[in-house]
Structures are given as C-alpha cells and as structure tokens.
Amino acid sequence: MAKVIFTANIQRHVMCPETQAAGGTVRDVLDHVFVENPQARGYVLDDQAGLRKHITIFVDGKIIRDRARLADAVSDTSTIHVFQALSGG
Amino acid sequence: MSDKLFVSTRKGLFTVSRASGKWDIAAVDFLGDNVTLTLSDARDGHHYAALDHGHFGVKLHRSNGNGWEEIAVPVYPPKPEGYEEHDMWGRPINWSTARIWALAAGGPDQPGIIWCGTLPGGLFRSSDRGTSWEMIRSLWDHPKRKQWNGGGADLPGIHSICVDPRNSKRVWVAVSTGGIWFTEDGGASWSQRGNGMRAEYVPPELTHDPIAQDVHCLVQCPAAPHRMWVQHHNGIFVSDDEGKTFREIINVEPSTFGFAVVVHPRLPDTAWFVPEIKDEKRIPREGKLVVTRTRDAGKNFESLTKGLPQVHAYDVVYRHALALDATGERLAFGSTTGGLWVSENQGDSWTCVSHTLPPVYAVRFA
C-alpha cells in the first residue's frame, strides 16, 4: 500500500495523520484515504474533485501532472506527499 | 440596540462589544485566517462565519454562541463531461466555490433556511442551518447567467440577497456583474430586474442593459420593501417599485462612487454611503473619510465627518463593511486599512474602535 503524508499546515484545520492506502493511481489512493477521513477531502480537492489550485501532490518525489483526474500511477511502495504549493501565498 | 459587532478581517474574526458605554475588542476567533463574511440569524441566535483558507479552500463555521464548528460548504454540481465555459478572458471557469460573498437568513416563516451567494455565480440554499446546501439550479442554468462577468473579482459573484419581509418566496439577488435577479416562487424561476441603471464601462448600446450593471450593493427597506437602494459602480440608484426601475441620484458631494449602502429599517428615504473619489481612484477625496447620509430619498445629502479622520485617510470600505443595527440608530464600518468606527446617533458622530486591525472585509451587528 502507498504511504500518504499530508502537509503539517493542514493539521490545524483538519487532522490528517500519515496513513497507508491501496490503489493504482493517486485518485484511487486518495479516495480510500477520504473514506476514512471525509472532512479532509474538501481541503485537498475542489468541487469537481480536481486538485485545489494551490495544492501540490508529489509521488515518489515527482509532482503529479494530471491535476484534474489524478491519474498519475502509484505503486505499492510509493510515498505520496500532499503539500501546499508556494503559489497562493 | 445591538451591543455586539462581528468584524471579518484578512487575519481573523473580531468580536467587538459595547461595555460601560465603550466599544472594544472582546474576542478574536480564527486568528491568522482570512474571514470574509458573517451572518447573525436573529430568528434563532445562530452565527455563521465564512473563511477562505486559500490553499485549502472556502469553509463555513457556525456558532450558537458557544464556540464554532465547521459545517458544510456549498458545493457546485459536477460539470457535464465535455462541457466548457469561459470567463471574459477566455479562461475555463471552474465550477467550484471560489468565495462566499453573500449570506442571508430566510423569512421568519422559514426557520433554518439560509441563502448563500458565491463566486463564480452560484446561489445556494440550506434548509438546516448550513448542515447541507442545495444549488439553485434554475438560476445557475439560466441561459443569461453565462453573460455574467467579473466585476468586484475576476469571476462573477452574488454579493447581495434580499428576502421580501412580506413573502419569503420573493427574493432579489445582485450580481457583480450581472445586475439584479428576482424570484417570486422561492427560486424556481428568475427574471432580470433593474431597468434604469447605467454602466459607463460598456459600449453605448449596452449602457442600460440590466445584465451589464455592476451593482456593488443592493439593500431593501424592511418596513417599505418597495424601496431599494443600489450602490453601483457608476453611482447611486434608488427604486420605488421593488427594483423594476431605478432612478439615478446625481450631484452628491464628495462623490457617488463607493461599495456599501445601508437603508434605515423603518425610514426608506434614509440611507448611508461611504464615498470614494471614483472607480479608477478608490480613495476618499482629499484624504478625508466621510459617510454620506440622505434623509429625503436622495434629494439632499449630508457629509458626516465628526470623529472620522480628515487628513491623509485612505480607507476603502468594502460592500459588506458598513452595517446598521435593527433600530436604525447604530452604525459601524471597517476599512481596508484596518480602521473601525462606530456611531450611536445615525452617523452624526463617530468613535474609532481601532485603526490597527487587519484589512476589514465585513462588519455586521450580531
């Protein structure tokens, strides 16, 4: 299962502890995470389930490219970081 | 008379209370966060605060006077596959709440109903005090909605909501830019209102088109709902027929440009404004901060200055940052440069509560 780590800055709004979830894409993994932590979903994804404008996701150190569908591939040993982008202040 | 104010600022929500005849900051919530608007619902004592966390999106919190809890936020419906619409610069419009720009309580016969206006133009209604929201699809799907444009922000947005005190199914909303829209069936259908307003920023053939109007703020007199006042991008307008037609108020010193307007709850001819020089010079004239007041439906205006800075004042007062209490006696306003003033005599004189607050977005009596 992939490891998912959230930015420390989100923690004061909604607790997002480091977790593990299964899935072949970023979407699959995050869907599993948000089943367990539904409040976090709206902090990371917009109303169309795309990545919020000023959120960045890294998979194994690389920024994902598909911000709308989150189709970037994830392996069982991947680490996903959910960060704030420097854009957005 | 209300003894409490909610002041929404770029860096937190300030509760300002009157004690022993003096107004002072009594509490700060959400310190460091961007609070954009509050609503205090006199029907049940609940308060609502809208926050914009930037990276993490727009959120809503509710309080019954004993702490705040996060509640649901309006969510746009899924955009149909393959469908695209674009803003006035050709950029795709994301169907996602970009800002909560209006909050209004439903009528006294509608306990728990809250209206919410947003950017990029969606109107929402909650029947359970914000626990859940439904989009008013009849307005969002109205073919003319796509003619709305950015004004106060890059995206179009609903900033004013007036619920008819005689009939809660009758609701007016104002859009920047998109003019005034009216429903008399609780939101099932909508029609454009606002003939007579005038826009200088469009070609002559569109000057009087109601959908081209950049209404900055729309208010309705509770005791005389036929009377509506508009602070518009190009001046002050007043209606005597529920917003069907407006007439322009001209020759007001120092200016008719501004964002905010409030109307007396029982005296429809009495309204207040906070003027700035003009649209491309958004500062008080000659550095003198004034509030203007008419008591005769716009025939005459007074400039109210007592207690307000008259030298090097560059305060801008946004559309939700001027407030009047339910008695019509107490006023308050906050500015982009962190000033907050209160009047207990309809604006005849003002007391500065603070001039070091973060930029003020909204002021509301609780």
**Nearest CA to CA, how far is A50 from chain B (Å)?**
10
What order do you get walking across the sheet with B322-324 strand by strand? B322-324, B331-334, B340-343, B351-354
ipTM of this complex? 0.87
Min Cα separation A84/chain B (Å): 6
In a domain, A78, yes or no: yes
Q: Is residue A89 part of a domain?
A: no
Measured between CB atoms, does B79 come within 8 Å of chain A?
A: yes
Mutate to test the interface with A, among B55, B68, B76 (most CBs of A within 10 A): B55
Question: Given A47, A48, A52, which is nearest B56 (Cβ)?
Answer: A52
pLDDT band at A87 (very low <50, low <70, confident <90, very high): low
Contact B258, B276 (CB under 8 A): yes
Confirm if B289 and B309 have CB atoms less than 8 A apart: yes
B71 in reach of chain A (CB within 8 A) = no
Domain range spanning residue A56?
A: 2-84
Q: Is A34 inside any structural domain? A: yes
Residue ranges for chain B with pLDDT beneath 50: none
B83 near A CB under 8 A: no
Contact: B75, A48; criterion CB under 8 Å: no
**Helix or strand run (H / E) with residue A38:** helix A38-44
- For residue A43, is it within any domain? yes
Residue of A nearest to B75 (CA): A47
**Closest Cβ–Cβ partner in B54, B75, B97 for A54:** B54
Q: Which residues of B touch A82 (CB under 8 A)?
A: none
Q: Is residue B96 within 8 angstroms of chain A, CB to CB?
A: yes
Q: Is A61 an interface residue toward B (CB < 8 Å)?
A: no
A55/B contact by beta carbon, under 8 A = yes
Å between B313 CA and nearest CA of chain A: 28
Q: Which residues of A touch B84 (CB under 8 A)?
A: none
Asked if B47 has any chain A CB less than 8 Å from its own CB, the reply is: no
Distance from the A89 Cα atom to the nearest Cα atom in chain B, whole angstroms: 8
Check pLDDT > 80 for residue A88. Answer: no
> In sequence order, what DSSP letters do the residues of B171-238 get, joined into one string?
EEEEEETTEEEEESSTTSS-EEE-BT---SSS-GGGTT-GGG--EEEEEE-TTSTT-EEEEETTEEEE
Put simply, the answer to whether B56 touches A89 (Cβ < 8 Å) is: no
pLDDT tier, A15 (very low <50, low <70, confident <90, very high otherwise): very high
Of B55, B73, B78, the CB nearest to A42: B73
Residues of A in contact with B94 (CB under 8 A): 46-48, 50
CATH of the domain at A6: 3.10.20.30
The SS3 of residue B25 is strand
With cut-offs at 50, 70 and 90, classify the pLDDT of residue A60: very high
Q: Do A47 and B56 touch (CB under 8 A)?
A: no
Roughly how many angstroms between the first and final C-alpha of chain B, as a whole number? 10
On whether residue A65 sits in a domain, the answer given is yes
Whether residues B76 and A48 touch (CB distance < 8 A) is answered with yes
Q: Is residue A72 part of a domain?
A: yes
Cβ-contact B118, B159 below 8 angstroms: no
Please give the model's pTM, rounded to 2 decimal places: 0.95
- Beta strands B247-249 and B257-263, pairing class: unpaired
Note whether B124 and B134 are within 8 A (CB): yes
- Count of the separate structural domains present in chain A: 1
Q: Cα(first)–Cα(last) distance of chain A, in Å?
A: 33
Distance CA B169, CA B110 (A): 10
Establish if A86 touches chain B: CB-CB under 8 angstroms: no
Which pLDDT does position B89 carry in this prediction?
A: 81
Give the pLDDT confidence of B304-331 residue by residue, as tens digits.
999 999 999 999 999 999 999 999 999 9
CB contact under 8 A, B54 and A48: no
Q: What confidence tens digit (pLDDT) does each residue in B215-226 have? A: 999 999 999 999
Contacting residues of B for A38, CB less than 8 Å apart: none
| Å between B214 CA and nearest CA of chain A | 27
| Residue A19 covered by a domain | yes
| A89 pLDDT more than 90 | no
Contact list, B57 vs chain A (CB under 8 Å): 42-43, 46, 52
Is A57 part of a structural domain of the chain? Answer: yes
